[in-house]
Amino acid sequence: MTARRLERQDALRERIEAEGLDALLVTHLPNVRYLTGFTGSAGMLVVRRDDSVLVTDFRYAVQAPQEVGNAAAVEIDAASVWDRLRRVLGIDGIATVGIEGHALTVREAERVSGLTRARVTPAGELVEPLRAVKAPEEVAAIRAAAELAQEALAEVLPSIRAGRRELDVAAALEAALRRRGSEWHPFPTIVASGPRSALPHARTSAREIAQGELLLLDFGAQVDGYCADLTRTFVVGARADERQRTVHELVRAAQARALEHLRAGMTGREADALARDVIAARGFGDAFGHSLGHGLGLEVHEAPRLSATAEAPLPLGAVVTVEPGVYLPGWGGVRLEDDVHLGPAGPELLSDGRTELIELL
């Protein structure tokens, strides 16, 4: 992995030079991990034209060198990482330092400016476009996370019944994820029943699931730092009624069309339209208010975007979610989500694509 990280840093240096910078201060921790392998909660990476230096504190005196290896020099400061950063930024030849403006607060940016005589300027997102294109080992980690999540779901489904609280279902699912090796939950698990399933990002509640209701589960797993993100919608304790079946089949058809025609090179807007047009043609366009999907990787939401406003082309090698939904306030909602690698032969499912309507009787 050290060779891969050095390649990433070299690619980043090309972007740094193109921006007219002498160095980039990387503070967004997923970017630090991507470039060095460091998994700690506190660390700043200075990428210069000829080398890279990771600055962290005494808590990681053993961990940081082990994880980083030869990908960067590691400097530990027991007293103040900011004082150590001052020394790293103060070497000859650094006249302009870029900072990750999207990842630093105004106060932190002002603090960095006070550490150096160099000009400090926001550099935008220089690492994120590199992260959007996944190496084979990254794809494999996301696939493993999806498989782990699917196994956890299969364990929990038989225990779901009318009368159980949403919180109880979430607890059982998260426990099953951890037992199978998920490092953590990429986001708070969503368990939304009945009319609450019409809330796209519902907070799991103490509500009891009633017989015959829709139940939406949005959950994920994390393997080697990489995230999977899945959504399935069920009917609990009864056969699906006509309306439930109709809406579910519509969302399933929209997802199927997107999965069939999605390709690297099309814009995020074109990708979004693959599913949106199917839903809108049936008169439910206003009920699909979010985008079709987003990139997956070290973060559960990262580049690229599959939305009606995204004009950038989807890069070859990206991993994205495909998650159309229909949400009807007061009644409920259906969302189906799978994870997809945009390979040279077309879209490759990393999750199982098991989106048929399941009645939990």
pLDDT of residue 147: 98
**Domain range for residue 161?**
133-360
Of 100, 131, 162, which residue constitutes the final position of a domain? Answer: 131
Share of the chain above pLDDT 70, in %: 100
pLDDT value of position 93: 80
158 φ, ψ (degrees, to nearest 5):
-60, -20
Q: Are residues 116 and 74 in the same domain?
A: yes
Counting residues of the chain whose pLDDT is more than 90, the rounded percentage is: 93
Which of 79, 106, 131 is where one domain is finished? 131
Residues 142 and 280 in one domain: yes
Mean pLDDT of 85-92: 86
Residue 254 DSSP SS3: helix
Residue 92 has a pLDDT of 76
Same domain, 239 and 295: yes
Write out pLDDT tens, residues 228-286. Answer: 999 999 999 999 999 999 999 999 999 999 999 999 999 999 999 999 999 999 999 99
Residues 267 and 321 in one domain: yes
CATH code at 52? 3.40.350.10
Which one-letter amino acid corresponds to residue 325?
A: G
Q: What is the pLDDT of residue 316?
A: 98
The predicted pLDDT at position 67 comes to 97
Place of tokens 């660390």: 43
In the 8-state DSSP scheme, what is residue 41?
S
Q: In the prediction, which pLDDT does 339 show?
A: 98
CATH of the domain at 199: 3.90.230.10
* C-alpha pair distances (Å), 326 with each of 68, 199, 278, 292, 355: 45, 10, 11, 11, 15
Considering the chain, what is the average pLDDT of its residues? 96
- pLDDT given at position 161: 97
Q: How far apart are CA 253 and CA 270, in angstroms?
A: 17
CB atoms within 10 A of CB 77: 16
307 with 339, same domain?
yes
Lowest average pLDDT, out of 107-116, 137-146, 234-243, goes to 107-116
Predicted confidence (pLDDT) per residue in 14-70, tens digit: 999 999 999 999 999 999 999 999 999 999 999 998 999 999 999 999 999 999 999
Domain boundary among the residues 131, 159, 174 is at 131
**What is the model's pTM?**
0.96
The tokens for 9 are 């840093």
Same domain flag for 64 and 138: no
pLDDT at 78 > cutoff 90: no
Q: How many domains does the chain have?
A: 2
The pLDDT of residue 77: 87
Residue 4: enclosing H or E segment and its boundaries?
A: helix 2-18
Same-domain pairing of 149 and 245? yes
Average pLDDT over residues 81-100: 89
Task: Look at residue 268 in the predicted model and tell me its pLDDT.
Answer: 98
